Amino acid sequence: MLASDDDLLKQAEDWRRAGRDVAIATVVETWGSAPRPVGSHLIIDAEGNFMGSVSGGCVEGAVVTEAIDVIESGAPKLLEFGVANETAWQVGLSCGGRISVYVEKVA
């Protein structure tokens, strides 16, 4: 795992310079119990490779899938996960909290 979010941002920049399409997912809001704080990042390339963390477990799998869509379309997305969401248990956010994750393509 990389040491800091700064390392992740540098890695995203390195991937772009190498010609890879990249998206960055950022925790922008949390409520209640959340596994990662606001400002946490996950970087994803078009092949589904990723580094960092926005939550853990299946939430990150869902974010990676959405990030690939963002890379293809170029349109950012705001994702929300929480126990009130009927899919919360499926994606693994059963800690009682909610998170919002903003996903955007790196230009």
Per-domain boundaries in the chain: 5-105
Q: Which residues contact 90 (CB under 8 A, 6 or more apart)?
A: 58
Comparing 5 with 74, the larger pLDDT belongs to 74
The residue count for the chain: 107
| 47-88: pLDDT as tens digits | 999 999 998 777 889 999 999 999 999 999 999 988 554 554
32 confidence band (pLDDT: 50, 70, 90): confident
User: Has this prediction a pTM greater than 0.75?
Assistant: yes
- Chain centroid, CA 66 distance in Å: 9
10 confidence band (pLDDT: 50, 70, 90): very high
Of 41, 105, 47, 102, nearest to 71 by C-alpha is 105
